[in-house]
Structure formats: C-alpha cells, structure tokens
Amino acid sequence: MPVSPSVVIGVDSSTQSAKAVAVDAATGRVLGLGRAPHTVTGTGGARESDPEEWWTALVTAVRAAVRDAGVDPGSVTGIAVAGQQHGLVALGADHRPLRPALLWNDTRSAPQAAALADRFGGHRSWLERTGSVPVASMTAAKWQWLREHEPHHAEATAAVRLPHDLLTERLSGEAVTDPGDASGTCWYAPADGAYDPALLDLLGLTPAQLPTVAPTGATRAGGLTAAAAEALGLPRTVAVAAGTGDNMAAAVGLGLGAAGLLDHPVVSLGTSGTVFAATRARPADPALAGFAATDGTRLPLGCTLNCTLAVDRFAALLGLDREDALPGGETVVLPYLDGERTPDLPAASGLLTGLRHTTDPRAILGAAYEGAAFTVLRALDGLLAACGLDPADPAVRTRPLRLIGGGARGRTWTDTVRRLSGRPLVVPAATELVALGAAALAAGASTGEDPVALATAWGTGAGETLPALARDEETWERIEGVLGTAAAGLLS
C-alpha cells in the first residue's frame, strides 16, 4: 500500500464561503479541495454573518478536502486558517457569539470611524500609532458602533475576536492571533508588536478580552482539541498555526515576505478590490491600511468595496452575461453600490453618466468594469507613491502586476486592467492563493520552516505573463474627471 505524503490543510474563510485545500507539504501540490457557503445578511449598509456558520462551513470544507485528496487522515500534520479581515465577533461569558458578526463591508460604522479619526491628534497620530486611520471597515469602528447602538451587547462582551481568531480558537482551544490580522483592528501597534493601551482605554477594551498576538502566523498555537479533532475526523496531533488575514495569506502564497517585492505589486479582484505590496517601508498615507505582514514586516494595502460583485450586479440589471461587454466609450460608471472605502465615500451610491440614445448596453457593462478597475488602479498609484515610487515613472509603470482573485480568471477583467494600467500582468496558475498561503503557514507550524520560503519553493505564485497594452489615457482621464466632480457633491 503506498505511503501517504505529509499533508497540510489551508483554509480560506472568506466573506462568501469556506474553502479548504489539502496540500502535499513537500511539493505544494493540491491533493484535494473542499468548500461550503457562508450566508451574508443585511440591507443598506448592514452586512452580517453568523459565526457559528463559519465553523460549520470549515468542518464541511476540511472533511471534503481530505476526502477529495484520498489520503489517510493520519497523514495530516498541520492546519491554518486565513480569514476575512476586520470582522467583529463579540463573545459572551459562555464564549458563544452574542449576535451576528459585523463584517468588513458593513458601512454603518462610518460615523464612529470619523469620530475616532479625530481623536489623539487626528490622522497623523493614528498613522504613527497603528499604521492606519479608522474607516468604516476597521474593527475599532465596528466595536464603537456596537457600544453606541447595542450597549447591552457591548457590556456583555467577554471576548472580542476577528473571524480567523475565532476559528483558530475553535481548532486549538487557544486565543491567539497574528501581527497581520491584528494590524487591521486599529487598536494594535505594528511598530511595537503589541496592543496600544491608550487606544484600548479609548475603546473600553482590556487586553484580557483580546487574543494573544503570536510572533508570526506560522507560530504553532497548539494541537487540535478533542472536539475539533472529532468534528474534522483528524488526529489531535495536527499542529494548528496562529493563521492570519486573507490578504496576508495571499501574500504568503505569492512568496512575498521579508525580502520585499515592490517591483511586483499585487492587484486582487474579488468582492472587494485590493492592492498590496511587501515592503520594509512604513508608508504614512491615510488612504492606505498600514498592515503588518504575517511575518511582522509591512504589507501596505489599499481596498475598494466595489469590484466583481458590483460589476456582476450591472450585468444582471442589463440582462447580460458578465463577459458580454464592450469598452465604455463616453459612458462612465462609478459602481459604488455599497458606498466606497477608497476613495473614502461611505455614503456613496452608484453613478452612471454619458448615456445617449445610441448607447449599447454592453458599453454600460464595459463602463462598470472600467470604473471598478480604475478605482483599484488609482489606489495602486497611491500605494506606490506612499512607498516612495513615482507611479508615472516609466520604469515603475512598466513593472508587472500580479493579478489574483476571481476576476483574474475573467477575460474582460484582465483586458480592462491591462488597458487601463498599461502594464504587463502575471496571472498565477494557482486559483486558491489565500488557502495555499494558509497551507504554507500550516506547514511552517508543523515543521518550523519559513512559510514564505516554502510557498516560493512550491511555485504557487508562478503563472502566465500577459504583455502590456497601450495605456488608455482617454478613458482614465474621463473617469477621473467624473469622479472629481461627483466626489465634490454628487456621491456623498
């Protein structure tokens, strides 16, 4: 009978679903994949999920991945969770959720974010303390919203967790997080590697309510608890890594770490659009999240709320297939259907302008793609500038972008990003980079090896290179003009 390879499991617990990959720890080959859906509820600015469903989905996805891999469960040596960032999970004295989790894209906390940002000397002080200025997505703003709108829940809260923290604790029995995900709370100081006491006082929190911050996401939190081992059908000897946030795990999966690769910035097209780069610099830009990477270095990130889901909504409204699009021409769409984070317009709505009797519906859809891609690429320019690079410098503009996320698999998305960026794209062949990054963290926890070096050896960031197209300056300038006018009064 053949001997099963040493297997590690990486879990991507995202907004919409849990995905688990069973990976050969020696080669990085994906042996099996499992998934299970999450439910998101809420209207207007509200976006919530039941944390108990996250655990049920994780169990379903992990069991399916092991079954799909066809390996002996006893060959599994490590597991790690990468979770959607910023979500607020309030636990009661029984360590069960007091209410549904407030998700990263819940914009009800925008007023609380603005009020917090004015404290402690304003934006500059927040940047120095946490690397980020509070916006509606940050956990601190959500906690403040809970204190103001549901004080009975806030007063009953015995513990506060991020989504990946909760799942890691269910697996290992240990309350532990990592520098990467902790840096998205706005109460953790990356420069100090610790929670900021003054900010905890401001927010009415104590260190006892928060998980311990492990040195890295690959730190071993412990083994599986008896209950977790039984639920997953795995041995208790499986090492549980501290894990991290989804963007940090994607960086690991791409092999981005302490060495820094600013010449290969990342554009991720998913429910949200994100741009990030590994660097040792400490950019100070209020439009960016000054995250830590899971290895404790820097992962500055820009995030937009409206990306693939918003464009798919336009396709549905127009009765078109998502790929049935044409360039927008004089039509401009700002698809800010859920408000917007970058630029910071939490009360915004979508805008469509430039219609004629002759406008083709496919051009309206194409304009939605352009508006979403423009917003993401504009955030990328801000990130590069904050890291000391001139986005207009031809030497910078011709460097490849790594394009990941669900949108990277769509022809119209890749064509639009190439046309508006004027840059070559590297599209990794691997489709589950967040889960693969988590698998590398799991391997690090079980072997003590550097997870970024492991992912680099596995080659998970390798893929097809698409040559640059001529940059569509006319479309870029048209959208930029509309955004400038709209931001002055029409969107907010």
Is residue 186 within 8 A of residue 140, CB to CB? The reply is yes
Torsion of CA 193, 194, 200, 201, to 10 degrees: -110
DSSP state of 253: H
Number of other CB atoms surrounding residue 425 within 10 Å: 21
SS3 content of the chain, % helix, strand, coil (to 5): 40, 20, 40
Identify any residues that bridge with 30 across adjacent strands, giving them in sequence order.
23
CA distance 153 to 195: 23
From the candidates 246, 338, 344, 450, give the one annotated as an active-site residue: 246
| 321 part of the active site | no
Residue 449 corresponds to which tokens in the numbers above?
């090896």
Residue 370 corresponds to which tokens in the numbers above?
């352009």
Residue 404 corresponds to which tokens in the numbers above?
């990941």
Is residue 300 within 8 A of residue 283, CB to CB? The reply is yes
Cite the active site residues.
246
